[in-house]
Amino acid sequence: MARWLVVISVLVAACGGDDAALTLSIESPAPGAQLTRDSLDAVGALVASVQVDVAVSGTPARVALSIGDAQLGDLDAAGTALATLATPGPATLTATAYDADGAALASASVDVTVVDPTVADCHAWLDLYKVGYTVGPTRMGVTDPVTAMMPINGVAFRSGGAARTAMFGDCSLIKSLAEAASSWRARKIVEVTDLGVYNYRCINNAGTPPNCTIGLSEHSFGNAIDLAIFKDTDGTTYSVKDDWVIDPAPYKTCMDPTEPGKDAFMHAMICELKSRGIWNIVLTPNYNSLHRDHFHVDLTAGGDTIKGPPAPLTE
């Protein structure tokens, strides 16, 4: 689910005066400006920060800033606001002047584009997300091995009943968890229990690597993790095993009705993460009984599914 994350410095503009000659023009950012997401906001999302400066001729009651239908807040008395934008892609910033009765008097817009930073490699992404890590150790199947220190972008992990102090995997997986953290933290999730990351084995344990009947599991490459339990700041837990209600065939996971409460929460959470492109493959309890107690998520090249069967076998 695409979203704009915005912080506005708010003061009300001067009131009264002759509105007939009122005009607005956006002085900055410039039309076509590219705004780079290179800082973290309060929930750990990468954002682009931009100062919006508006020249006002006349004395409206207030001047408001918006992106599309999203109202961001009022500019200050000097016609300035600070916006932070989290969603890559084109955006139209609009300043609108209103009178004391709330009627729109004039508006001005500027088109900008939010872009990702240019980085040298995956490790540089971890640096942007302020993830502590060491390179290695070298293990069979893992292309870019790293060991991440806990927490990952503000989210702690548990495994085997104990709090993790570190997590080994491919850098691409650790990056995906750093990206997912902003969605979790926005939902007040601060701890995730996983059932494992790296495991050099065959899909469904069919054979002994490298002689696999179907192929190697994505866990063999360190780019898959099994997510089981989520805990929020109030201590409330959301368990895949206990709280996910299996959807009816044909398993349209993100379109099927949900049960109120924890089931709805978990469907919304995992579907938002998939829609953001955090992982290529998401297997839920809808997939088969082997996934009744966890979400299997991975970065299978070319994969794109969160549905139940049929789906690429990557587990």
The tens digit of pLDDT for each residue in 246-257 reads 988 887 899 989
Q: How does pLDDT run across 77-134, given as a tens digit for each residue?
A: 899 998 889 889 999 999 999 999 999 999 999 999 999 999 999 999 999 999 999 9
- Cα–Cα distance for residue pair 163/300, rounded to 1 Å: 28
| Helices 171-186 and 262-275: angle between axes, nearest 10 degrees | 130
Per-domain boundaries in the chain: 23-115, 122-298
- Cα–Cα distance for residue pair 28/111, rounded to 1 Å: 11
Q: What is the DSSP letter of 74?
A: E
Element at 177 (helix H, strand E): helix 171-186
Is the CB of residue 111 less than 8 Å from the CB of residue 31? yes
What pLDDT is stored for residue 312 in this prediction?
40
What pLDDT is stored for residue 310 in this prediction?
41
Three-state DSSP at 128 gives: helix
AA identity, residue 13: A
Element at 95 (helix H, strand E): strand 89-98
CA dihedral 264, 197, 277, 4 (to 10 degrees): 70
**Cis omega (within 30 of 0) for bond into 260:** no
- CATH number of this structure's domain 23-115: 2.60.40.10
Distances (CA, A) of 206 to 74, 213, 214: 61, 6, 7
AA identity, residue 60: P
Three-state DSSP at 221 gives: helix
Q: State whether CATH 3.30.1380 applies to domain 122-298.
A: yes
Distances (CA, A) of 40 to 99, 214, 269, 277, 279: 36, 41, 21, 19, 21
Nearest to 231 by CA among 134, 127, 158, 144: 158
Nearest to 96 by CA among 109, 81, 78: 109
Backbone angles phi, psi at 273, to 5 degrees: -65, -40
Tell me the two tokens of residue 295: 């979400």
What pLDDT is stored for residue 6 in this prediction?
35
Three-state DSSP at 101 gives: coil
Is the CB of residue 296 less than 8 Å from the CB of residue 283? yes
Question: Which stretches of the chain score pLDDT less than 70?
Answer: 1-20, 307-315
What pLDDT is stored for residue 105 in this prediction?
94
Is the CB of residue 202 less than 8 Å from the CB of residue 213? yes
3-state helix, strand, coil in the chain (%, to 5): 15, 35, 45
Nearest to 287 by CA among 249, 239, 258: 249
Nearest to 292 by CA among 228, 225, 230: 228
What pLDDT is stored for residue 314 in this prediction?
43
* Angle in degrees, CA 296, 300, 303, rounded to 5: 95
The reported pTM is 0.86
